[in-house]
Structure 1
Amino acid sequence: MKFVDEVSIKIAAGDGGNGCCSFRREKYIPKGGPDGGDGGDGGSVYLLADAELNTLADYRYERFYAAERGENGRGGNCTGAKGADRVLKVPVGTIVVDANTDEVIGDMSEPGQKLLVAKGGWHGLGNTRFKSSVNRAPRQTTPGSAGERRELKMELKVLADVGLLGLPNAGKSTFIRQVSAAKPKVADYPFTTLIPNLGVVRPEAHRSFVIADIPGVIEGASDGAGLGVKFLKHLARTELLLHIVDLLPFDESDPVENFQAIESEVAKFAESSEPELADKPRWLILNKIDLLTEEQSSKVSEFLKAVNWQGPVFEISALSGEGTDALVWAILEHVEAKRGKSEALDQVDNEEELQPYAPEKDIN
């Protein structure tokens, strides 16, 4: 299935059913009175986060979705049936925005999360509702109200613990194939990944993390070159970024200049669209060390000195697997530490919410 991470759709909740104007007319019952029933409520439109979906491709061609209208009321005090709700399934990680106001309606970050995006119309009232001691034969009714209409923009940001960053052909896809069961395309000729790939890395039972491989970024991406920054948004939810650098580029370009170009593009994107991206922990991964000859062994130290890198550094060969085990265990410890801290903060927040009020004691 084609990967689609941005769509626009129109939705319409069902209108409420109209109230009925009716009078009881039966033989031998001369004073039947009003018996018009109310209409039914219109159906609402909901979004449901489904863990089995990983793309918004289902909404690429069909762009309008509506819930059922409520039925009109009938005589005999019969109330119209409520219109059926419409539930639209979306991938976990979908952000929903009102296209007309740019208001963020919801963030579908949890499997099974349900979000109301269009409320159904309220039912109309039948004439039975208006009878009184001074109005024995009312003919008033009210129509059902219209359901909400909206135009939505839905944007998918993949949920991953770790994101891979680097130029095309830096070895990102080879790395994710080496450490996980994901199988993105790799080959011995230059090309770039076109869609994000997710891989689950499981060093041992019951301990794992998710890694995301996004299309390579090139110089000028923030201005629209290549694939632009279309997929950099997927790194916004990660806890850790791995900047993979090819020490021996096939085009014989300078690794230092390549590194600085990517850092510059990410900084521009963070400044304009995703400020939190600039503050994420970032590790430097030097790839293809197995290809360095003895004469080239100083390349690593020269590179680190040239870029003045202060963070963690790992030397690996994504193809042979050299150095990847140590990197995977370091990532796992980092991710689990982050998870533990997050769970601890949630527990503190819950305890504060549940703490009963205790009035201050009078020290006098």
Structure 2
Amino acid sequence: MASNFIDYVKIHCKSGKGGAGSTHFRREKFVDKGGPDGGDGGRGGHIILRGNSQLWTLLHLRYQKHIKAENGVAGGGSRSTGAQGKDVIVEVPLGTVIRDEETGEILAEITKNNEEKIILEGGRGGLGNSHFKNSVQQTPRYSQPGEPGNESWLILELKVLADVGLVGFPNAGKSTLLSVMSAAKPEIASYPFTTLTPNLGVVQYHDYKSFIIADIPGIIEGAAEGKGLGLRFLRHIERNSILLFVVSAESESVLEEYETLLNELKQYNPELLDKKRVLGISKMDIIQDEDLEKNLKKLPANLPIVRFSSLTLEGIPELKDLLWQQLE
């Protein structure tokens, strides 16, 4: 499963060259000096990205390194315009960001199903000689060549679209929480880094309402510097409306663990700290003591906290209520 989740690819794209304009003169029986009637060249094909809600990975582009659109066709006589080059439409999952590999500039973001963005425009077709006739130049013997297409190396990054992102260390209970709150079936085991790819689940709420929750692979201290798996997946947190920090009740210091997680997010992107936060204390079926309550009192007073157990489901309805309130 992990090998099928690709959230970063680099591809070379080239749009089509415009067709050349025609240098042609009207030649008909009984028509003397018919004059120029060269048609315009056709536009070169565009490179277009289209959002597809059925895709969840960039895997289909991993081995398609070069994408090229058709060239436009040259114009003809009788002012006939050449055919346009065929556009190339590349389908991508929602949440895909497109950057120029050389400059790092963001060219587009695809966030809606069937949303289309022209990434590289095809070259314009050249004008035929019929455009250049005037009182001085009655028989122009020139036309425009088609404009060249554009080409560039592009980087496509996928940032998972979800309302709520689960943030926590490995084995904090995020995958188990996702499995009881939604119909998602992530891999769950006792070893670290159970989650190797982001998992999405739809949480059903009252009155047919729902929201999407994403289990992001566990962060470790130093993730923002490239340690562990965290750095690769921190980009997915950028799309979440709410960050649900999950800390195990077994933690020696809930405050220290929470602050470490915050620090990793801050080092990666300080703007992440502007998102709404909720703290969930997991595994309450294992530990319920006074030391934990004293530990929680050290946390910021304005931080919403929910205690829950994914095993007994204690606190799960309250957690759903709180998340829905924060989303509204």
Structure 1 letter corresponding to 2:117: L
In the alignment, is the contact (CA less than 8 A) between 1:218 and 1:261 conserved in 2?
no
* Residue of structure 2 in register with 1:314 after alignment: 306
Using structure 2 for the length normalisation, give the TM-score.
0.91
Q: Output the aligned Cα RMSD.
A: 2.1
- Say whether residues 1:282 and 2:284 are aligned partners: no
State the shift of 1:27 in Å.
Answer: 4.5
> Which whole-Å CA distance do the structure 1 matches of 2:275 and 2:79 have between them?
63
State the shift of 1:39 in Å.
Answer: 0.8
* Residue of structure 1 in register with 2:260 after alignment: 264
* Residue of structure 1 in register with 2:246 after alignment: 244
> Which whole-Å CA distance do the structure 2 matches of 1:279 and 1:134 have between them?
67
- Say whether residues 1:37 and 2:39 are aligned partners: yes
* Residue of structure 2 in register with 1:304 after alignment: 296
- DSSP 3-state at the match of 2:235: helix
State the shift of 1:73 in Å.
Answer: 1.1
> Which whole-Å CA distance do the structure 2 matches of 1:31 and 1:191 have between them?
81
Using structure 1 for the length normalisation, give the TM-score.
0.82
Q: Do the aligned partners of residues 286 and 262 (structure 1) sit closer, same or farther apart at CA in structure 2, a change above 3 Å counting?
A: closer
Q: Do the aligned partners of residues 191 and 128 (structure 1) sit closer, same or farther apart at CA in structure 2, a change above 3 Å counting?
A: closer
Could you say which structure has the larger radius of gyration? 1
Fraction of identical pairs, as percent: 44
State the shift of 1:92 in Å.
Answer: 1.4
State the shift of 1:211 in Å.
Answer: 0.6
State the shift of 1:29 in Å.
Answer: 4.1
State the shift of 1:265 in Å.
Answer: 4.6
Structure 2 letter corresponding to 1:319: L
- DSSP 3-state at the match of 2:279: strand
Cα displacement string for residues 60-108 of structure 1 (whole angstroms, at most 9, x for unaligned residues): 1102222221101122332211112222222111122222222222222
4+ residue runs of structure 1 moved beyond 6 angstroms? none
Structure 2 letter corresponding to 1:286: I
> Which whole-Å CA distance do the structure 2 matches of 1:152 and 1:289 have between them?
47
Specify which of 195, 198, 222 is matched with residue 196 of structure 1.
198
Cα displacement string for residues 175-209 of structure 1 (whole angstroms, at most 9, x for unaligned residues): 00001011111135554200001111012342111
Describe how 1:1-364 pairs up with structure 2 within 5 A: 2-248=4-250, 254-256=251-253, 260-261=256-257, 263-271=259-267, 273-292=268-287, 297-305=289-297, 307-310=298-301, 311-336=303-328
Q: Do the aligned partners of residues 312 and 138 (structure 1) sit closer, same or farther apart at CA in structure 2, a change above 3 Å counting?
A: closer
Cα displacement string for residues 248-306 of structure 1 (whole angstroms, at most 9, x for unaligned residues): 3xxxxx531x76256325424424x42221122222212112123xxx6224214324x
Cα displacement string for residues 134-193 of structure 1 (whole angstroms, at most 9, x for unaligned residues): 433321111001122222222111111111111111110000000101111113555420
> Which whole-Å CA distance do the structure 1 matches of 2:118 and 2:134 have between them?
38
* Residue of structure 2 in register with 1:349 after alignment: none
> Which whole-Å CA distance do the structure 2 matches of 1:190 and 1:328 have between them?
26
In the alignment, is the contact (CA less than 8 A) between 1:222 and 1:265 conserved in 2?
no
- DSSP 3-state at the match of 1:4: coil
Cα displacement string for residues 21-69 of structure 1 (whole angstroms, at most 9, x for unaligned residues): 2233445444333332221111222222222221111211102222221
In the alignment, is the contact (CA less than 8 A) between 2:69 and 2:86 conserved in 1?
yes
> Which whole-Å CA distance do the structure 2 matches of 1:95 and 1:72 have between them?
35
In the alignment, is the contact (CA less than 8 A) between 1:20 and 1:74 conserved in 2?
yes
> Which whole-Å CA distance do the structure 2 matches of 1:255 and 1:281 have between them?
25
- DSSP 3-state at the match of 1:211: strand
Aligned pair count reads 325
Structure 2 letter corresponding to 1:277: L
> Which whole-Å CA distance do the structure 1 matches of 2:24 and 2:318 have between them?
79
In the alignment, is the contact (CA less than 8 A) between 2:21 and 2:127 conserved in 1?
yes
> Which whole-Å CA distance do the structure 1 matches of 2:246 and 2:157 have between them?
27
> Which whole-Å CA distance do the structure 2 matches of 1:12 and 1:330 have between them?
49
Q: Do the aligned partners of residues 136 and 190 (structure 1) sit closer, same or farther apart at CA in structure 2, a change above 3 Å counting?
A: closer
> Which whole-Å CA distance do the structure 2 matches of 1:129 and 1:84 have between them?
25
Structure 1: 5+ residue stretches without partners: 249-253, 337-364
> Which whole-Å CA distance do the structure 1 matches of 2:152 and 2:306 have between them?
49
Q: Do the aligned partners of residues 182 and 20 (structure 1) sit closer, same or farther apart at CA in structure 2, a change above 3 Å counting?
A: same
